[in-house]
Structure 1
């Protein structure tokens, strides 16, 4: 018999920018302060929010993605919640926002994950500039999809007691419980930069901020009513395709410039017996010589370009490693493998030079969306199987002279110019890189599919 999972909720909203991350963090920290074991999740591709979740809950936050992951994979990853008292998942964008064409399970919408897992939805509504009309928006969201439960709403940016009373009257008419009403309070807002929030590890006051958010949410929300709404249903066993480990001993770049690694990837690799060997390029460290593969994840190399350019030991050690073994970089790691990076101020900084790639932030342009990659060349551990992931960066490619790594398409099937790069090395090693962030193998696609 399939065990019953712990009860859960998905925190969502009509749109981005409503305050759902702050509310989620406040709830995680407030429930943890009550002595509950709370398991966080994040719907969709996001590296930054889960790090804040983990700091608030004291447990790693796991991404669940209906476009990139099959139902069995989502269910298997959700098993990390076993033994917890409560699950709190944060949605992405608006509740029903996703892409036009479905992937493994759906379009990437948060509502799909909530419906699959049986988690009721708590809506965070920015009610500034409106009153009873907020209830019409909430009621529309509650009725939009059959099989999805909207358990109640938390009002954000309430201007005054009169404003709150008007909004509450609208919600009562719509039959939607108000679970909290948060007054305007700018000091609990988290700082942002071009890829979202400033990373959790960069905030020295993080624990103080989380404590403030917990106190703020606890003072203005009915925590008992919120917890009472939580529910879940058990899912039948289904095949699950983990991400294959790229090697037995993985030298993993890990510091402020290279921090975008999904927890489920590392968990998958360790479950397959791989050893993770972290090193810091910013500290001028080279990959561990005992490693069988080197992986440079995404992050913010553009913010540390001068320091990377001065890291002679890192560059020399990486070049020596690449002569005989595979090296792969994702997004920021890809840029660091290139010949040069032009920072926002127009200054060019020397990178590792293992690929001919030249990138620039002098003229930023956002590249965002799901990606399906069909490698032309075998990637470490992945072979040439189709892979699902996403792209999110502001870099412009000035030059990309090496052989393309993969055929890459977006969620509609349209070709994407950022194909990645591949270069064989004289001693038998390989260097590859791509702006594509790997989430999961494309379980529904065979390698021979066009």
Structure 2
């Protein structure tokens, strides 16, 4: 049986889920508990903060892209040698995309599938007793989901706390605590979300501050006792997320290329593949011992000048691509192109392995789940194989010429459109692959 879990959720984004989650994780870890973090949904940034707070790897669980068997196996690994799992929801608890029952991408799907009770973080600024109506609605909305109770956030005064807490407790819902309003506690943000954990100044101090707030204002013992669920009797089976692109995989990793899912690394390693990290920003080329190269997404638009000047990286990548597979996702795709225009309008030459020009000067948000059908045999699979993932970027395409990498649909339509490019052994697109899908489309 996996460790018991608790899912931290809210009815909307911006209610304080992340700071509450990190504070609770660090508070439990400081007590000597082995805590594993989980992020619901396709988010690259939050799991790195979870790892910093707990000292353990965090996984993504997503019901739209992942089938039940994979969710169970990832939860099993999250709970191995752990005392408790703390999961962070995404957006509102019930927010998702069109999909079959329990396959909408909503955090509620994960709570229901794994039996994790929900801690509802409620931003009560601008309300008091009305918070009880919201809590009642959440508790009754989905019979699959158990509401452990509520944590009040951004409380203005003792009187404010008393009004909201008494109204909620009067309808039989537990209030685990109340966090006072504190405008001085916030995580810095940029265009794709939080500034990455490795770039956040004073992160350890901030995590300890968040933990102390939780210990001071929240009944941590009661929260720990409320954790439940887990998959009893589930046998360990191989992770079957996405085919490794090679036996020895060079993966770019630094501030420009950091959006690499932990579950992919775990799945590839368990299948026998080796992963070697290298840093394009440090002007490192893909190691010659590798037989495939993976350029993840990240923030190449913030480092375009350094990448353009990284001659050893660019020349090494070109040599590598002449004989071995190279795949780029999102920011990695931009780097495989001819040019990248930064926010100031400066045009920077990139690897030139694909006939692509991208721009961050003219921005447009592209966001949502995607299903992709591979257009030809490549490192990710055979022609016709189906993958599931998402797209999240602000960059625009100035020019894109050549054969498509895949035919893609989103969660709202079935009409396929070409996405990405392929040339020789090089492939890429703005699509972030999370899993393969059964069968072909």
Task: Normalising by structure 2, report the TM-score.
Answer: 0.97
Q: Could you tell me how far 1:78 is from its partner in structure 2?
A: 0.7
- Matched length: 437
- Distance, in Å, in 2 between the alignment partners of 1:12 and 1:109 is 11
Residue 336 of structure 2: aligned partner: 337
2:119 paired with 1:109: no
- Distance, in Å, in 1 between the alignment partners of 2:375 and 2:417 is 15
Residue 181 of structure 1: aligned partner: 178
2:84 paired residue among 79, 83, 86: 86
Equivalent residue runs for 1:21-420 within 5 Å: 21-80=18-77, 81-102=79-100, 105-234=102-231, 237=234, 241-384=240-383, 385-415=385-415, 419-420=419-420
2:421 paired with 1:421: yes
- Distance, in Å, in 2 between the alignment partners of 1:403 and 1:11 is 44
- Distance, in Å, in 1 between the alignment partners of 2:327 and 2:100 is 29
Q: Gaps spanning 5+ residues in structure 2: where?
A: none
Deviations 1:230-285 (A, max 9, x none): 11142564876332211011111111100000011011111111111111111111
- Distance, in Å, in 2 between the alignment partners of 1:415 and 1:303 is 34
Contact 1:41–1:61 (CA under 8 A) maintained in structure 2: yes
2:427 paired with 1:432: yes
Where 2:56 maps in the other structure, the secondary structure is: coil
Deviations 1:266-305 (A, max 9, x none): 1111111111111111111111111111110000000000
Deviating more after overlay: 234-243 vs 408-417: 234-243
- Distance, in Å, in 2 between the alignment partners of 1:415 and 1:398 is 23
Residue 427 of structure 1: aligned partner: none
Where 2:48 maps in the other structure, the secondary structure is: helix
Quick one: structure 1 residues 235 and 359, their matched pair in 2 at CA, closer, same or farther if it must change by over 3 Å?
Answer: farther
Where 2:303 maps in the other structure, the secondary structure is: helix
Where 1:122 maps in the other structure, the secondary structure is: strand
- Distance, in Å, in 2 between the alignment partners of 1:34 and 1:237 is 29
Where 2:373 maps in the other structure, the secondary structure is: strand
Where 1:215 maps in the other structure, the secondary structure is: helix
Quick one: structure 1 residues 416 and 188, their matched pair in 2 at CA, closer, same or farther if it must change by over 3 Å?
Answer: farther
Q: Could you tell me how far 1:134 is from its partner in structure 2?
A: 1.1
Where 1:55 maps in the other structure, the secondary structure is: helix
Contact 1:260–1:298 (CA under 8 A) maintained in structure 2: yes
- Distance, in Å, in 2 between the alignment partners of 1:131 and 1:142 is 18
- Distance, in Å, in 1 between the alignment partners of 2:164 and 2:209 is 25
Q: Could you tell me how far 1:346 is from its partner in structure 2?
A: 1.0
Quick one: structure 1 residues 394 and 416, their matched pair in 2 at CA, closer, same or farther if it must change by over 3 Å?
Answer: farther
Q: Could you tell me how far 1:416 is from its partner in structure 2?
A: 6.5
Where 1:314 maps in the other structure, the secondary structure is: helix
Where 1:403 maps in the other structure, the secondary structure is: coil
Quick one: structure 1 residues 236 and 420, their matched pair in 2 at CA, closer, same or farther if it must change by over 3 Å?
Answer: farther
Quick one: structure 1 residues 315 and 328, their matched pair in 2 at CA, closer, same or farther if it must change by over 3 Å?
Answer: same
Contact 1:386–1:441 (CA under 8 A) maintained in structure 2: yes
Q: Gaps spanning 5+ residues in structure 1: where?
A: 425-429
Quick one: structure 1 residues 418 and 29, their matched pair in 2 at CA, closer, same or farther if it must change by over 3 Å?
Answer: farther
Deviating more after overlay: 166-175 vs 329-338: 166-175
Where 1:188 maps in the other structure, the secondary structure is: coil
Q: Could you tell me how far 1:102 is from its partner in structure 2?
A: 3.1
Quick one: structure 1 residues 418 and 170, their matched pair in 2 at CA, closer, same or farther if it must change by over 3 Å?
Answer: farther
Contact 2:188–2:200 (CA under 8 A) maintained in structure 1: no
Contact 1:101–1:107 (CA under 8 A) maintained in structure 2: yes
Contact 2:241–2:434 (CA under 8 A) maintained in structure 1: no
Deviations 1:208-247 (A, max 9, x none): 1101110111111110111111111425648763322110
- Distance, in Å, in 2 between the alignment partners of 1:201 and 1:306 is 21
Q: Could you tell me how far 1:378 is from its partner in structure 2?
A: 1.9
Contact 2:405–2:418 (CA under 8 A) maintained in structure 1: no
Q: Could you tell me how far 1:382 is from its partner in structure 2?
A: 2.3
